[in-house]
Amino acid sequence: MSSNSGRGLQPNVLGTFDTIVMAVAGSAPAYSLAATTAVLVGAVGLAAPAALLYCAIPMLGIVLAFSRLGRIDVNAGASYSWVGRTLHPFLGFISGWALVVSATIFMVAGSLPAGAMTLALFDPGLAGNTALATAVGACWFLVMLLVVLGGARLTVRAQLLMSGVEILLLLLFLLAALLHKGSAISFDWSWLGFSHFDGASGFASGALIAAFYYWGWDVTSNLSEETRNSRRTAGLAALVGVGVVLLLFVAFTVAVNVILTSEQIKAGSGNVLGVLGDEIWPGVGGKLLIIAVLLSTVATLETTLIQVTRSLFAMGRDRTMPAALGSVHPRWNTPWVAIGVVGVVALVMFVAATALGTVGDILSDAVSAISLQIAVYYGLAGLAAVAAYRRMLLTSVKNFLLGGAWPLLGSAFMFWIFFESLGELSTASIAIGLGGLVVGVVPMLWYWRQGSTYYRPAKLDAARSIEAEVPYAGAAPGPRDAMATDF
């Protein structure tokens, strides 16, 4: 807990179903499809469904890594804590910083489409006005900021409403797409193979964008201190969430390939689902899917705010960032200072975004930059899981596969797409992606010199942590037992 507030986050607020909803909302199926499909198709063409399918396999390795690490260290900072306690505190800080920077950039990348979608509902001509879209998007952002400030219970109630309607609309249109008569091109099973990729670098650039589609499920780990039975719940919810969005992503990208021409996809830019909706159900379909995307965008703004503010809260609590960030509001039990700081920084970035170009241009560069940062902290978490469970990997085939081989595959894949895609990305994407990470070296070194105890961690060892839980089954633990369980 933060010593300057004397309080921690409110425990046991979220149940299993709530947490699954948060995982699905974090990956934002409708938003990801609308905002990123044109970027993905631009990178890999008809191989878009394959990129999403094959990226899911290593991504599940990272989900397993988060799940296993969450069992032995319940921490709102998630990978920031785990990587710091297994690999090295410097890598742990960079891991947390990568999430903070990517999430902050996303505040703009996510809010711009929310603004554009809102305007498109009333007048499609206004949707391309970057300044107006930014202003309306900023209003949505401020509403979600207040919801997140109001506490985890209010947050999940808003999420249930938004994500529930979104998923129902997506399922309705999937059914309609199956019954749709016309097509731009006939379905081909080769779309799910490797033949449409332009070599290894082409596959890597597609996989990097696909990683952005899935990003966000790990909000369940950032909420672990506020979740009932979180040692089990956070990992299970993430696994279910990724499974749900995988099916939606592949089904919709196949539908886009079949129903829309490449010219329609390119023209649709950040609103491909709206174009698809108009093709399936002229007049009404586009507007219904715009509503789904709008709800998804606002919902994922909420989960991203949770991720960045909980990460900053953990950093403030550990004195690796200003201690005030570890303050908790006495009434709402939320990290109100961290929420306020993120709000101010994001609003400044909204103003800057209006000078950067069209909504489509901003989205394209932001998605690639965020994806680089995601690859870094997901890759480090995969290595951290293997390091934490190293003494248990050879005790059973299950431990070897689920605790070692699969997370290691996920980690290797994340680092491979990071380095392989550098040659394919725009200068702006690389500058934002890598520059954002480099900036984190300044606070890291400053607070290391200040003597933060984070930089002298108790090593995270799964075998020792699990052994230490045994006394709880039959005897009241003494002080030494309590220390050994990572609480």
Determine the pLDDT at residue 473. Answer: 38
The mean pLDDT value for 404-417 works out to 94
Q: What is the mean pLDDT of residues 382-400?
A: 93
Q: Distance (Å, rounded) from C-alpha 62 to C-alpha 216?
A: 12
Tell me which of 66-70, 277-281, 304-308, 444-448 is least confident.
277-281
Using pLDDT thresholds of 50, 70 and 90, give the confidence band for residue 184: low
pLDDT reading at 449 higher than 80: yes
Average pLDDT, the chain: 85
Rounded to 5°, angle at Cα 356 from 438 and 361: 90
Q: What is the mean pLDDT of residues 386-403?
A: 92
Q: How confident is the model at residue 370 (pLDDT cuts 50, 70, 90)?
A: confident
Please report the pLDDT score of residue 207 as a whole number: 86
Please give the average per-residue pLDDT across 111-127, as a whole number.
Answer: 81
Task: Give 14's strand partners.
Answer: 227
Confidence of residue 417 (pLDDT cuts 50, 70, 90): confident
Domain range for residue 474?
A: 463-487
Instruction: Specify if 11 maps to a domain.
Output: no
Same domain, 168 and 267: yes
- Backbone angles phi and psi of 185, in degrees to 5: -155, 150
In a domain, 6, yes or no: no
84 has pLDDT over 90: yes
Say whether both 452 and 475 belong to one domain: no
Query: Are 209 and 106 members of one domain?
Result: yes
pLDDT class for 271, splitting at 50, 70, 90? confident
Q: What is the arithmetic mean of pLDDT over 80-95?
A: 96
Most confident region among 25-34, 44-53, 377-386 by mean pLDDT: 377-386
* Residue 101 shares a structural domain with residue 67: yes
Confidence grade of residue 85 (pLDDT, cut at 50, 70, 90):
very high
In the predicted model, what is the mean pLDDT of residues 246-261? 91
Residues 230 and 321 in one domain: yes
Same structural domain, 287 and 344: yes
pLDDT at 12 over 80: yes
CB-side neighbour CA atoms (13 Å) of 50: 21
Give domain status of residue 412, yes or no: yes
Whole-angstrom distance, CA of residue 34 vs CA of residue 292: 10
Higher pLDDT, 151 or 147: 147
Q: Pick the residue with more confidence: 355 or 378? A: 378
Report pLDDT for 7: 58
CA-to-CA distance for 437 and 70, rounded, in angstroms?
A: 25
C-alpha 132/C-alpha 33 separation (Å) is: 23
Look up the CATH number of the domain holding residue 335: 1.20.1740.10
Residues 421 and 348 in one domain: yes
> Do 402 and 288 share a structural domain?
yes
In terms of domains, do 268 and 125 share one? Answer: yes
More confident call, 7 vs 416: 416
* 125 within a domain of the structure (yes/no): yes
* pLDDT of 200 higher than 50: yes
Is there a domain that residue 50 lies in?
Answer: yes
Q: Are residues 477 and 398 in the same domain?
A: no
Between 100-104, 131-135, 391-395, the lowest mean confidence (pLDDT) is in: 131-135
- Residue 7 forms part of a structural domain: no
Instruction: Please report which confidence band the pLDDT of residue 363 belongs to, taking 50, 70 and 90 as the band edges.
Output: low
Whole-number pLDDT of residue 223: 93
**Does the pLDDT at position 252 exceed 70?**
yes
Please check whether residue 10 lies inside any domain of the structure: no
Residue 436 has pLDDT above 60, yes or no: yes
Domain count, the chain: 2
Note whether residue 2 is domain-resident: no
Residue 377's nearest CA partner among 458, 445, 437, 313 is: 437
Same domain, yes or no: 351 and 481: no
Say if residue 363 is in the same domain as residue 482. no
pLDDT value, residue 5: 41
Q: Report percent pLDDT > 70 for the chain.
A: 91
Instruction: List phi, psi (to 5°) of 282.
Output: -55, 135
